[in-house]
Structure 1
Amino acid sequence: MTARRKAAGVVVLGFVPLAVVGLTSVPAVAHGSMTDPVSRVAACYAEGPEQPQSAACKAAVAAGGTQPFYDWNEVNLPDAAGNSRQVIPDGKLCSAGRDKYKGLDLARADWPSTKLNAGNRTFRYKATAPHRGSFELYITKDGYDPAEPLKWSDLEDTPFLKVTDPKLVNGDYVFDGIVPNKSGRHLIYSIWQRSDSPEAFYTCSDVVFGQDNGAPAGAAPTASAPTNEQVADGADKSSVDHTGHEGGATHPAAPAAAEPADEGDEYAGEEGNDPVVTNADAVVAQPTASQDNLAETGSDSNTPIYTIGGAAALALGAAIMFGTTRRKAVSTGGRHSR
């Protein structure tokens, strides 16, 4: 091989690491669940999927197995695109219409619940993979019967709280709102619609205002949210990888503290930024200076260029290596033939 050919091979092959980085730098898909007031799926996970304590969680595990509760932060639809009412049928709101989570749709008045009062309240939503998006919180109408399957018509027509890109504090989205005046047992339904993807996430949180007249005394235990230790310990039992697809937990879906996928994965909900909250019409947050170059996937706007360029360099490098090796083999074979 001539020195010129060697140099060409080294120059091209020098781009291979860049190609590999570009091809493997895939942003994480959002995951999470409401933890205050705690959702059904998070409350049952906190009890322990293998040995749940409450009658409702035991029934939910019996209906769908333990795996849905290890995957507590994945009650989602990948292509909702703001059409939740059209794609989720009545009676299946808590499972987002997914058979995997059918145990969450059980109509009963003894789900673990959170005590609630009307007025100002802070809400928390565990974000195991944060991304930009908006939250809508609905509450059930007066006369709601928890012993009947939850229908869209059971919810108030408009959300009592909307927030776009809330702040992230210790792995939780934190935002404030005004809880409507209700009495007895109700349910808060949340929709987290990503703005950088058609994916949406859903939660059902059972709440009780004042005296719970919807169930016998002691039948509705107080719900607890998963601790950070439980979140971390359960990650290796999740069947959801960090790209949001089922098939193993090589990349844990639930780290103890939420972090962006890479340096370019910034969002308006960074600590220190104020969320946009309204109890009336939705308000869209204006991009911050750090978002000007934010790609829709949450990565740097140059990521696609690097990925394409890296792939091309990798292919070219492989071609040159193959060609060079072939020429060397032919040359060697020629000398042996002599």
Structure 2
Amino acid sequence: MSARARRAAVVVAVLGLPPVALTVLAAAPASAHGSMGDPVSRVSQCYAEGPESPKSGACKAAVAAGGAQALYDWNGIRIGDAAGRHRKLIPDGKLCSADNAEFKGLDLARADWPATSVRSGAYTFKYRVTAQHKGTFKVYLTKPGYDPAKPLAWSELDLRHPVATATDPVAAGGFYTFSGRLPARSGKQLLYAIWQRSDSPEAFYSCSDVDFGGGTVSTGSAPAPTASAPSDRQIAAGADKSTMRHHGHGGDMAGPAQQPAAASAPNAPKAAGASRDLAETGASSGTAYVAIGGAAALALGSAALFLSVRRRAAGGAHRR
């Protein structure tokens, strides 16, 4: 190969490097989330009431404690590096928020959280999802004697007997649907759902209040209102105020995701999106900095090599 041909080959290779560097930055995965839709979770119920002006006393108190943004971010109750260490990472009294300060209003110990009416026997659970992932769902029910007016502790859940377990269910119409069985209970109880991804250490959490009927109501207190899930239109209407991104990323299950209306209009990436996105899939922020730094170094190195080639070429031309 002649000297001129070698120089041309080097220039072509160098010019191809900056796009690669940009590709590394652009490849940072977007976050994806979900929450129990039936029985509806606390955060979804309060979102359905309206983040700025909720109707129920419990949802009003939740917004007063943690702000309305938590409801716009209804599908973001998660721990990026959970990897099954749920009890180790989430302290008693903070199960519904997954120890995330943004969602602390959901941990309020109240007997008037809106509840879904249920009864013992077979139950079809529906988990609203904004992107598909492989993983396992486990749903736990509180033990007999549960008092919703006291902070929820891990010991209050019957962890030995999940009422539903599902691995890699197929999403349809914006929901993962799977079957379970509710044991005999009476009055207000709580269902705690954990979705642990298998393609990432990330896990999602939700609390759903249910009412088996037959319970006692304290003197002077009104029965808890009936829960209702937000509609696709409501979710779409608030998507632009969410800090969460509603579309898929690396590790998503193969095939087109069937998502609710909000998924069709994902939010624009926020500043420093690469580090946030990586963190939201279980990677550390350091991983993002390494990726960004590596890409920058690659781009700078390629530029330096390109200039060096040009100088050598110019020097050769002068000597001739």
The normalised TM-score by structure 2 is: 0.77
Which residue number corresponds to residue 250 of structure 1? none
Which residue number corresponds to residue 173 of structure 2? 170
1:203-222 to 2 correspondence within 5 Å?
A: 203-211=206-214, 213-214=216-217, 219-222=223-226
- Residue 166 of structure 1 deviates from its aligned partner by 1.2
Which secondary structure state, in structure 1, belongs to the residue aligned with residue 195 of structure 2? strand
Q: 1:52 aligns with which of 44, 48, 54?
A: 54
User: How far apart are the structure 2 equivalents of 1:331 and 1:267?
Assistant: 54
The normalised TM-score by structure 1 is: 0.73
Q: Is the 8 A contact 2:35 2:129 kept in 1?
A: yes
- Residue 200 of structure 1 deviates from its aligned partner by 1.6
Which secondary structure state, in structure 2, belongs to the residue aligned with residue 46 of structure 1? helix
Letter in 1 for 2:240: D
Deviations 1:157-190 (A, max 9, x none): 3212211111111221111111112121110011
Structure 1 pair 106–165 and aligned structure 2 pair: CA distance change class (3 A): same
User: How far apart are the structure 2 equivalents of 1:88 and 1:30?
Assistant: 21
Q: Is the 8 A contact 1:165 1:267 kept in 2?
A: no
Structure 1: gaps of 5 or more residues: 241-252, 272-296, 299-306
Deviations 1:109-131 (A, max 9, x none): 11111111211121111122322
Deviations 1:197-219 (A, max 9, x none): 22221111000113453466754
Which secondary structure state, in structure 2, belongs to the residue aligned with residue 192 of structure 1? strand
Which secondary structure state, in structure 1, belongs to the residue aligned with residue 130 of structure 2? strand
Letter in 1 for 2:252: D
Which residue number corresponds to residue 179 of structure 1? 182
Q: 2:201 aligns with which of 188, 198, 210?
A: 198
Which residue number corresponds to residue 237 of structure 2? 233
Structure 1 pair 331–213 and aligned structure 2 pair: CA distance change class (3 A): farther
Structure 1 pair 22–184 and aligned structure 2 pair: CA distance change class (3 A): same
Q: 1:321 aligns with which of 285, 306, 312?
A: 306
Q: 2:246 aligns with which of 254, 265, 270?
A: 254
Which residue number corresponds to residue 38 of structure 2? 36
Which residue number corresponds to residue 144 of structure 2? 142
Q: Is the 8 A contact 1:13 1:314 kept in 2?
A: no
Percent identity over the alignment is 54
- Deviating above 6 A after TM superposition, structure 1's stretches of 4 or more consecutive aligned residues are 268-271, 328-332
Which secondary structure state, in structure 2, belongs to the residue aligned with residue 27 of structure 1? coil
Letter in 2 for 1:46: A
User: How far apart are the structure 2 equivalents of 1:217 and 1:165?
Assistant: 42
- Residue 269 of structure 1 deviates from its aligned partner by 11
User: How far apart are the structure 2 equivalents of 1:203 and 1:179?
Assistant: 17
Which secondary structure state, in structure 2, belongs to the residue aligned with residue 205 of structure 1? strand
Structure 1 pair 267–109 and aligned structure 2 pair: CA distance change class (3 A): farther
Q: Is the 8 A contact 1:234 1:254 kept in 2?
A: no
User: How far apart are the structure 2 equivalents of 1:210 and 1:229?
Assistant: 31
Letter in 1 for 2:202: E
Which residue number corresponds to residue 25 of structure 1? 27
- Residue 331 of structure 1 deviates from its aligned partner by 9.3
User: How far apart are the structure 2 equivalents of 1:109 and 1:331?
Assistant: 84
Letter in 1 for 2:12: V
Q: 1:69 aligns with which of 57, 68, 71?
A: 71
Structure 1 pair 154–265 and aligned structure 2 pair: CA distance change class (3 A): closer
Letter in 2 for 1:254: H
| 1:124 and 2:126 are equivalent in the alignment | yes
Q: CA RMSD in A?
A: 3.3
Which residue number corresponds to residue 287 of structure 2? none
Which residue number corresponds to residue 270 of structure 2? none
User: How far apart are the structure 1 equivalents of 2:127 and 2:308?
Assistant: 55
Which residue number corresponds to residue 273 of structure 2? none
Which secondary structure state, in structure 2, belongs to the residue aligned with residue 189 of structure 1? strand
Q: Which moved more, 1:317-326 or 1:203-212?
A: 317-326
Structure 1 pair 60–270 and aligned structure 2 pair: CA distance change class (3 A): closer
- Residue 148 of structure 1 deviates from its aligned partner by 1.0
- Residue 65 of structure 1 deviates from its aligned partner by 0.9
Structure 1 pair 6–239 and aligned structure 2 pair: CA distance change class (3 A): same
Residue-pair matches, total: 282
Structure 2: gaps of 5 or more residues: 259-280, 283-290
Which structure's residues are more often helix, by fraction?
2
Q: Which moved more, 1:54-63 or 1:219-228?
A: 219-228
